[in-house]
Structure formats: C-alpha cells, structure tokens
Amino acid sequence: MSDDAVRDELLRLENVDAWYGTAQALFGVSLSVPRGGVVALLGRNGAGKSTTLRSIMRIEVRTRGEISYAGRDLTRAGTTGVARLGIGYVPEDRRIFGRMTVRENLLLGRHLARGDREPLPLTEILDTFPMLVPLLDRLGGVLSGGEQQLLAVARALVGRPELMLLDEPSEGLAPLTLRQVRTAIQSAHDAFGATVLLAEQNATFALSLAQRVAVIDTGRIVFTGATEELRARPELMSRYLGVESAGAAAGTGS
Amino acid sequence: MSLLLLTSGLAQGMILFLAASGLTLVFGVMGVLNFAHGGFFALGAFIVYSLTGGASIPAWQYLLLSVVGAGLVGVVGMAFEVVVFRRIYHLPHLDALLATYAVLLTITGAITQIWGVAARGQPMPSEFRSALRFGDAVVPVYDIALLVIGGLVAVGLWFLLERTTFGRSVRAISADRQMSASLGIDIKVVFTVMLGLGLGLAGLGGALVAPLVQLDAGLAAVFVIQSFAVVIVGGLGSIAGALVAALALGLLNSIMVSIDPALAGFSLYIGMTVVLLIRPQGIFGHRAERP
Amino acid sequence: MMERLRALPGWWRVVAAVVVLVAVMAIVPIFGSGAAVFFWGSVAVTALYAMSVNLLIGVAGIPSFGQAAYFGIGAYAVGVLHHEGLPILLVLLVAVLAAGLAAAVVAALGLRATGLAFSMLTLAFAQALYTLVFQLDTFGGENGIVGLLPESVLGIDLTDGTSLWLFTMTMVAAGIGGLWILQHSPFGRTLMMIREDPARTRALGIQVRRYEIAAFAAAGAAAGLAGALFAYVQGLVVPEYLFWTRSGEPILMSIIGGMRHFFGPVVGSVIYRWSVDVLSDITAAWVLWVGLAFLVIVLAAPGGLLGLPAQIRSWRSRRTIAPPSVTSVESLGDES
Ligand SMILES: Nc1ncnc2c1ncn2[C@@H]1O[C@H](COP(=O)(O)OP(=O)(O)OP(=O)(O)O)[C@@H](O)[C@H]1O
Ligand SMILES: [Mg+2]
C-alpha cells in the first residue's frame, strides 16, 4: 500500500515555508497525497491548514520549497493555472457568488475543465446533490450555510477535478447537514474518482473519511501516518486536536 | 416639456452613456477608475476623422467607419492593458488613479503629435443634418440616431453580461477575483478583453461625438470628467446605473439650459456632488461583496 | 538632550533653505532676462501650490483631486478685488481666507465620504466652480479678468519685474515657511499618524475628522495664496486655472519630487516647469513625453526623485535578506 502510494503520488509538498507579508505561517511542511486517496490534514485553529491549501492554490501567501502536482511544479503557476490542472478548491468560507443563482454558481465550475476533462452535465451533479434542485434559481447569497457548503462542493466537482482541496467543510454545520456533506465528499471520491485533501478541525468527521492523516500544529507537521495509527495515539489526539478519548474519534461512521 | 427638449436631452444623455459605459464596465471588473478613458474617447473621434478624411460622407458609411474606428481603439486599448494597466490594478486607489492620469496625458500628447495642435472639424453626414417633423415639433435625425445606437449598446451590454458565459465570468471576477481564479477562470484574458471592450466603447462615443464638437486634444480631459460624473451618479460598476444617470443628467442639462444658457454643464457636477454627499455609492451602486 | 540633537539637523536645513532662497532671489534678476524673472516667479508660485497639495496627499494622506478650486478662488479674489483699489496685502489676506474657508466647508461636508468618493467630491466641487466662472460675466466669463498689475506694496513700487519678483518670492517663502512650521508641529505629526493608520489614531482618542478638516483648510489657504500670487505674476485670471487638470498638475509635481519629502514638491515643480519649458520649444506634443515620464515614475519610483536614495538602499538590503521582502522603514515615511 505505502509503496504504491509513493509511486503514484498526485500531490507533493516538500519542506514548504509560507509567509503572509513578513509573518511566517508554515515551517518546512511536507505532505504527500496518493492518487485516489483521501488524506486529512488535521489541526486546531490557526495551525496552518488553510495556509497549506492556499499555498497549493497560490493564493495570498508567498512560499518557498517544493509543491508539485502530478510531477508538475506549482510554485511557478498562477491560481488559474493551478486550478486548470484539475484541482477543485472549496475554500473555508465557501465563497459562493451571492448575487448569482445557484445554477450560475454551478456553471462557473465548468471553467476548471480542460482538454479531455469534459465538465459534468448539471443533471449528473444534481443526481448527487438532489437537495440543490429546488434551489437552482435562488441567489447564492440567500442560501443557508449548509446549503452553501454543499453548493461549494458541487461547484468544485462540476469541472471533474482530479484533486479536491476541501477547507473545513464541516464548519458550522448541524449533524444532519454534516452527514449530507460527508456523503457528498464520499461520492466525489467514489463516484467521480477524485483524490481528496481534507483540512479539518473536526477529527471525528475527518477520520471517518480519510485513509491517511497529517497533523499540523503552529505551521509544522507533527504527525503523518495511516488513520488507524493516529487513532492508536490518544496523546496526539488530545494534545493537538483536543479529542479527549480515542473512543470518541472512532465512534462515528456511516 | 417640449419634444425637442426631451429628445435633445436624451440624445445628450446617450452621448454621456456611450462615454461612460466603458468606464463603469472597466471599474466594475478591475476596480480602477480610469482617467485614460477620456484619451481613448478622443482617439475614437480623431481616428474616425482620419478614416473619413474629414469629408462629408453618407450616413451609413459614417456609422460603419465609427464602428471600425471603435474597433481600432479597442485594439489599442488591449495593447495598453497588456503593457500598462496590468501593472496598475493592484496599486492603492490614488496611485492607480495617478497612473491612469499619466496615461491620459500620454494619449493626449500622442494625439497632438499625430494630428497637430490645430482643431479639426468633422462634418455631419447630410442625412443626419435634417430633422423629422412630429406635428409641431422638429427633432434632428442625429438625435434619434444617437438614441437608437445608445439603446443598442445598452441592450448588447446587458446581453453580454447577463446571458453569456463570458459575461458570467466577468460578473464572477468583479464579485470575487480570487475565487474566480480558483475556479479556473482566466483573469488576465478577461481583463484584456474587458479593457478592449470598454475602451472600444469610449472610441465609439468619440466617433459619434466628432461631428458635434471641435476636435482637439482637450476633448479627452473634458469627456473623462463628464464620464466620471455619470458613473458616480449611477454607481461605480453599474451599467444600468450609467444609463439612467446619463439620461437623467442629459435631460436635466437640457432643461437647465432652456431656463438659462449660463447653466450649461452644471447639472453634471451638481448631480455628482449631491449624489456623493447623500449616497456615495451612487443610485445603482452597492458595496462590493469582496475586495 | 535627544530633543536638541533631533532639532539640530532640522535647523540646519532651515538655514540652508533660507540661504538658497536668498541666493535664488538675488541671482535670478541679476543674471536672468526679464522673461526669466517672469518664468521663475511663476515657478515659485507653482511650487507653493504643489506644496499645499502635498500637505494633503503626501502628509495627511487625504486624496484631494480638486485643489484647483482653492487656487482658483485665490486667483479670482484678486481678479474681483484688484480694480477696487485695495492694498495688495489686504487682497492677499482676503484671497487666503476665502480659499481656506471654502476648503473647510468642502472638507466638513465631504469628509463623510472616504477614499475615491472623497477624491471625486473635491473634483466635482472644483469643476462646478470652473463651470461657474466660465459661464458668468461677473467673472469675465471665458476670457477671464485681465490687467491685474500690482502697483505698490507698503509704499514699495512693484511695477518693474524685479521688485514684483522679490515681492512674490517673499510671499512664497512666507507661505512655505508657514507650511514648514505646520508640518513640523504636533499638528503635522498627527496628520502623518492619520495617514499611516487612521483607525489606530482614532483609537487613541484623536478627532481624525477635525484634523483632516483643518489640514484641508490650511492646504486650501496656501493654495489660495499661490493662486492670488499667480494672478499678480501673470497679470490675469482665466477659468483655466480652475479646470481639473490644474488639480492634477501639482500632484504630478509632488510625485516627481517625492511626496514624502517636505521639499519634494519644490524640486518636482522646478523640474516639471523647466522640462515643459524646454520640451515645448522642441515639440507641440510635449504632453506625450511628460505623460510617459510621469507613468514611469509612478510605476517604478513612486517615492519620486528625493525618494530614490531610500529606494535604492531598500533594493540593496532586500537583495541580501531572504525571500519575503521586508517593508523598508523609509517607505513608511520619515520626513525628508
Ligand atoms: N491573511 C492572513 N494574513 C496574515 N496572517 C494570516 C492570514 N491568514 C492566516 N494567517 C495566520 O497564519 C496562521 C495559520 O492560519 P490558517 O488560516 O492557515 O489556520 P487554520 O489552520 O486554517 O485555522 P482555522 O481552523 O481557524 O481555519 C495563523 O497564525 C493566522 O493568524
Ligand atoms: Mg482555516
């Protein structure tokens, strides 16, 4: 398994430093996402999860170190170029276009598709996200937080990304909505074959989806390994993620 | 209000709209208030003057050459985007304003360089010089032509922005540049095209104003300020706002002039001042979703 | 002790400035032709005008784009009052007060708007005034008011070029001296604080709006003085003085010289007026070259000529420090 993963590595960060202006936010972050995998990036508030994703997307931060996708150097590209390689990004505040309808928001996702990656027809997306159907002609700005989150995931999927970067999709969601979002991510992976890098604070939620985990704290990676390995280390869970018992983290599923 | 007053006011308004529509379009997308806009407006007037050879030509030819001239101005505009404007967007407002002011000076100077200091006159096509009679009222044909052209431009812009994929990208970029890029929209291309379009519209405005004014390089400075007034009253970035504001200001001006000719030109600055004091974001303006 | 150390170089600069001033006042009429005296007189007035604008834009960070209004008010005050036979100093005083008052009113009404909206408001006011004087015969309409030849001040004859030059320079020096004192007073330092961080300044309990209105009034008054002197030097006032491009020019000069330096606008206006003078002899399209040069300065050297040494220093240090560039202390703007 782990040998395959190294050989078929889709995204790779090697010793990445990142700065906002003069303030350094990442220190030597290394991360590897195997093709077809679901990797969780866990850490508490301000740990550097969003910064890691922004470094990949070339948004706001300046970086040093290697960031490559399918063997291509991303540090020389712009945000548009990175996205067009087939990376779907769901930022932490969802960034739905408030004055456009849900339909238009979804259609905007098509720009991601290039060359042989045809965009998904809306019907196909709506099969996976049936709750969006009645909302199609509403303005994005009036949707609830949960609906916006689903829309953001759906929008990123329209361009048939090979890699999805999800920034705290669980944030502020009620358990029922959380389950919908979880199903959506699951089907992005299972049905549409996307590789997923999931930044999360909610360990329970993330570990239920991920095969591999990296834990980040104050801009440094403090743990990488398989999900079970992290579960087996309650002291890490409580120290970096505030999860008090390993049982709690293992307790959810389906 | 007499019909003549109405149509001449609205026709003046349409000229203002043609001058201002590109300005508001560019502001909406790039977030830069572009002083250089006036330069491209003047360029449109001079290019059409050269295309017609300063001769009186049939109306349809004049309109055709105006469109060609606008296209040429648009191409020059795109070149400017690539060479200059691209370096301006990220600057603070004042610096960006000053940089575009520098471009305005440059274009004004280039016009003097090419066409000389002496003012030129573009004859009005003879068909446009006649007037239509509606009962007692007499309405100049050119006023009607301006109303039709302005209306077509307004509808065309609405269609482009609201009904096409390109327009959707434009709206996305003006709402949230970063997210648009993250979705794979090519910001640079959209910017280049939008500046070409916006400045092309300025060129069209200039071409259509040419028969009505004396052509000299000072045209640039005069019309850019009038365009500023329109887009500020209408709301920066709003096409509908620019249309409504332009027509209202044009009408107001023609009414004020009919009361006392000395009031010519006041409506613009009074309108601008009042709007900025009462509703700084303009009639149709709204605060940006995201910087 | 610290106070004295800090005060010393400042005083040296003042002494140097006075020496330069006196030298220029003496040299120009001794060696220059009548035309040169006239030319440099108008340059000096322009420099004062540019400085008044820089008090707003460079020092206080208030983006005024309509300073021609106050310059024009000063000039038209002379135009209207000159033929009434009032003493010159009284006319100048009225010009300064009228311009300052108008500026205070515009700022008081307008400063509720910020940034771009405020720039546009100042522009609108200036354009409205321009349209007014252009249309009204009271102000001479399109042709303006001519024949503004000052005869004497305090019994000193002003009818020849040299005495008018000396008078102009004295008044310009007084204006610049006033601005210097203002900028180096606690008031001036507060303005710089507002420029750097309005929110924090407000949090310190400082009434930012009041300071901004006062700065606007002071700049307006100085522009009014410049306008009035300009009317006397030129001998006429025309609506052109109020046209919006006349608001752009002093900003351009400040940028060329360096907005973060007290004497930047002086350097800028001398260079600007001189190069326009030279260029316009060569080509009618001199604006083309001015525009290009200005564009290069705005994009490549936003600190202007006097800011160049600091900019070069920060390039150097930037190259030796690792990737993320450090905002240089110079660019945060310690004055000259
Ligand atoms: N735009 C910014 N400018 C300056 N510093 C920033 C910016 N965004 C984040 N930071 C800083 O970078 C560090 C990492 O922030 P980041 O947003 O990556 O954390 P996070 O793990 O995503 O936290 P959260 O769970 O709260 O979203 C924090 O110390 C934060 O204060
Ligand atoms: Mg985050």
Structure tokens at B169: 């990208």
Hey, whose CA ends up nearest to atom 1 of ligand 1? A20
Q: How much is the average pLDDT of C66-73?
A: 96
What are the Cα distances from residue B134, in Å, to B34, B137, B141, C184? 41, 5, 12, 69
The predicted pLDDT at position C329 comes to: 29
**pLDDT band (50, 70, 90) for residue C149:** confident
**String of DSSP letters for B211-264:** GGSEESTTHHHHHHHHHHHHHHHH-TT-HHHHHHHHHHHHHHHHHHHHH-GGGT
Query: In total, how many domains does chain C have?
Result: 1
Q: Single out the residue of B14, B69, B10 nearest to residue B42, CA to CA.
A: B69
How far is it, in rounded angstroms, from Cα C23 to Cα B177?
Answer: 56
Using a CB-CB cut-off of 8 Å, the residues of chain B touching C128 are: 266, 269-270, 273
pLDDT tier at C318, thresholds 50, 70, 90: low
Q: CA A40 to CA A201: how far, in whole Å? A: 10
Mean pLDDT estimate for chain A: 88
Q: Which fold has domain A3-244?
A: Rossmann fold (3.40.50)
- Residue nearest (by alpha carbon) to ligand 1 atom 22: A50
The verdict on B181 touching A (C-beta cutoff 8 Å) is yes
Residue C333 has pLDDT above 60, yes or no: no
Highest mean pLDDT among A26-35, B231-240, C142-151, C316-325: A26-35
- What pLDDT, on a 0 to 100 scale, did the predictor assign at position B287? 52
Q: What is the pLDDT of residues C155-183, one digit of tens each?
A: 777 778 788 888 999 999 999 999 999 99
Q: Which of A177-191, B62-76, C110-124, C255-269 has the highest mean pLDDT?
A: B62-76
CA neighbor of A149 nearest in space, from A137, A167, A163: A167
C28 confidence band (pLDDT: 50, 70, 90):
confident
Cα distances (angstroms) measured from residue A25 to each of A20, A47, A52, A63, C228: 7, 8, 9, 10, 57
CA distance C324 to chain A (A): 6
Kindly tell me the burial class for residue A181, based on how many C-beta atoms sit within 10 Å of its own C-beta (0-12, 13-18, 19 or more): buried
Q: Does the distance separating the beta carbons of A159 and B184 come in below 8 Å? A: yes
Does the beta-carbon distance from A83 to B182 stay under 8 Å?
A: yes
Identify the nearest ligand to the CA of A41 by its number. Answer: 1
Q: At B124, which helix (H) or strand (E)?
A: none
Handedness of CA B163, B164, B170, B171 (dihedral sign): positive
Q: Is the CB of A202 under 6 A from ligand 1?
A: no
The residue among C325, C329, C331 with the most chain A CBs within 10 A of its CB, best to mutate, is C325
SS3 B21: helix
Residue A248: pLDDT over 70: no
Q: How far apart are CA B133 and CA B85, in angstroms?
A: 47
Longest Cα separation, chain C: 69
- Cβ contact A64–C327 (<8 Å): no
Residue whose CA lies nearest to ligand 1 atom number 25? A45
Contact residues, chain A, for C323 at CB < 8 Å: 19, 62, 64
* Minimal Cβ distance to B273: which of C124, C284, C294: C124
Taking CA–CA distances from A19, the nearest residue in chain C reads C324
Tens of pLDDT, residues B137-175? 788 899 999 999 999 999 999 999 999 999 999 999 999
Question: Counting beta carbons within 10 angstroms of the beta carbon of residue B277, is it exposed (0 to 12), middle (13 to 18) or buried (19 or more)?
Answer: middle
Å from CA of A252 to ligand 1 middle: 28
Considering only CA atoms, which of C91, C60, C64, C87 is closest in space to residue C77? C91
Q: What is the mean pLDDT of residues B127-145?
A: 86
CB contact under 8 A, B289 and A84: no
- Total Cβ atoms within 10 A of residue A131: 15
A128 lines ligand 1 (CB under 6 A): no
Does ligand 1 lie within 6 Å of residue A92's CB atom? Answer: yes
Contact B85, B188 (CB under 8 A): no
Q: Which residues pair with A200 in a beta bridge?
A: A42
pLDDT tens profile A88-104: 999 998 899 999 999 99
Task: Judge: A21–C324 Cβ closer than 8 Å, yes or no.
Answer: yes
Conformation bin of residue A193: beta by default, left when phi > 0, alpha when psi is -120 to 50: left
Q: Does B108 touch chain A (CB under 8 A)?
A: no
Instruction: List chain C residues with CB under 8 Å of A24.
Output: 324
**Ligand 1 near A135 CB (within 6 A):** no
> Helix (H, G, I), strand (E, B), or coil: what is residue A73?
strand
- How far is Cα C45 from Cα C173, in angstroms, rounded to an integer? 10
Q: Is B240 on the interface with A (CB under 8 A)?
A: no
Residue B152 exposure: Cα atoms within 13 Å on the Cβ side: 10
Contact criterion met (CB < 8 Å) for A62 and C327 = no
Res B288: pLDDT: 44
Q: What atom in ligand 1 is closest to the CA of residue A51?
A: 18
Query: Quick one: B156 exposed, middle or buried, by C-beta within 10 A (0-12, 13-18, 19+)?
Result: exposed
Of A93 and C102, the one with more pLDDT: C102
pLDDT of residue C320: 52
Reduced 3-state DSSP string for C45-95: HHHHHHHHHHHHHHHHCCCCCCCHHHHHHHHHHHHHHHHHCCCHHHHHHHH
* CATH at residue C31: 1.10.3470
Q: What is the pLDDT of residue A156?
A: 93
Q: Whose CA is nearest to atom 31 of ligand 1?
A: A46
CB pairs under 8 A between A and B: 67
Three-class DSSP category at A127: helix
ipTM of the complex in this document: 0.89
Map out the domains of chain B as residue ranges.
3-278
- Which helix H or strand E contains C243, and what residues bound it? none
CA C186 → CA A105, C189, C303, distances in Å? 53, 5, 24
Whether A250 has a pLDDT exceeding 50, the answer reads no
C286–B109: do the CB atoms touch at under 8 Å? Answer: yes
Chains in contact with C, where contact means 3 or more Cβ–Cβ distances below 8 Å, are A, B
Q: At A235, which amino acid appears? A: E
Instruction: Identify which of A51, A56, A170 to mutate to test ligand 1's pocket (most ligand atoms within 8 A of the CB).
Output: A51
Burial of A176 (0-12, 13-18, 19+ CB in 10 A): exposed
Range of the domain at C324: 2-335
Does the beta-carbon distance from B277 to C109 stay under 8 Å?
Answer: yes
The whole-angstrom separation of Cα C47 and Cα B282 is 36
Task: Please state whether beta strands B214-215 and A72-73 pair in parallel, antiparallel, or not at all (unpaired).
Answer: unpaired
Instruction: Flag whether pLDDT at B63 surpasses 50.
Output: yes
Distance from CA of A124 to the nearest CA of B (A): 19
**B237 contacts on A by Cβ (under 8 Å):** none
Decide which of C318 and A226 is more confident. Answer: A226
Whole-number percent of chain A with pLDDT over 90: 61
pLDDT in tens, A107-159: 999 998 887 788 889 999 898 889 999 999 999 999 998 899 999 999 999 99
Sign for the CA dihedral angle at A156, A157, A163, A165 comes to: positive
Inter-chain residue contact B106 with C295, CB threshold 8 Å: yes
- The verdict on the CB of residue A45 being under 6 Å from ligand 1 is yes
Question: Considering only CA atoms, which of A197, A137, A144 is closest in space to residue A166?
Answer: A197
pLDDT band at C7 (very low <50, low <70, confident <90, very high): low
Measured between beta carbons, the chain B residues lying within 8 angstroms of C283 are 113
CB atoms C323 and A64 under 8 Å? yes
CA distance linking residue C206 with residue C200, whole number of Å: 9
A104 and B185 within 8 Å at the Cβ level: the answer is no
Q: How many residues does chain A have?
A: 254
Using DSSP, state whether C96 is helix, strand or coil.
helix
**Residue B265's pLDDT is what?**
82
Instruction: Look over chain B and give the mean of its residue pLDDT values, rounded to a whole number.
Output: 90
Instruction: Determine if ligand 1 sits within 6 Å of the CB of residue A104.
Output: no
pLDDT for residue A5 is more than 60: no
Spacing, Cα A198 to ligand 2 middle (Å): 11
User: Could you tell me if the CB of A242 is within 6 A of ligand 1?
Assistant: no
Q: What is the pLDDT of residue B202?
A: 96
Q: Are C76 and C200 in contact (CB under 8 A)?
A: no
Inform me whether the pLDDT recorded for B242 exceeds 50.
yes
Place of tokens 């970096």: A240
Counting ligands in written order, which one lies closest to the CA of residue A44? Answer: 1
Contact B185, A108 (CB under 8 A): yes
Ligand 1 near A51 CB (within 6 A): yes
- Tell me whether B6 touches chain A (CB under 8 Å): no
Number of other residues whose CB lies within 10 A of the CB of residue C252: 25
Give the number of the atom of ligand 1 that is nearest the alpha carbon of residue A52: 18
Q: Between B141-163 and B165-175, two packed helices, what is the crossing angle to 10 degrees?
A: 80
CA pair distance C163, B92, nearest whole angstrom? 45
Residue with token string 């044009």: B250
**CA angle (A59, A62, A66) in 5-degree steps:** 100
Rg from Cα positions in chain B: 19
CA distance B231 to chain A (A): 21
Decide: A47 in ligand 1 pocket, CB within 6 A: yes
Interatomic CA distance for residues B216 and B115, integer angstroms: 9
As a whole number, the mean pLDDT across chain C is 85
Of all ligands present, the nearest one to the C-alpha of A42 is: 1
CB pair distance less than 8 Å for A108 and B169: yes
Q: Is residue A39 helix, strand or coil?
A: strand
Using a CB–CB cutoff of 8 Å, tell me whether C291 touches chain B.
yes
Nearest-ligand number for the alpha carbon of A218: 1
What would the mean pLDDT of A44-72 be, rounded to a whole number? Answer: 93
What CATH topology corresponds to B3-278?
ABC transporter involved in vitamin B12 uptake, BtuC (1.10.3470)
Task: State the Cα–Cα distance between residues A106 and C291, nearest whole angstrom.
Answer: 45
**Encoded amino acid at A47, one letter:** A
Give residue C3's pLDDT. 52
The ligand placed nearest to the CA atom of residue A46 is 1
Give φ, ψ of A39 to 5 degrees: -115, 135
Q: Which residues contact C87 (CB under 8 A, 6 or more apart)?
A: C153
pLDDT for the residue numbered C332:
28
| Strand (E) or helix (H) holding B131 | strand B131-134
Chain C residue set in contact with A, beta carbons under 8 Å = 323-324, 326-327
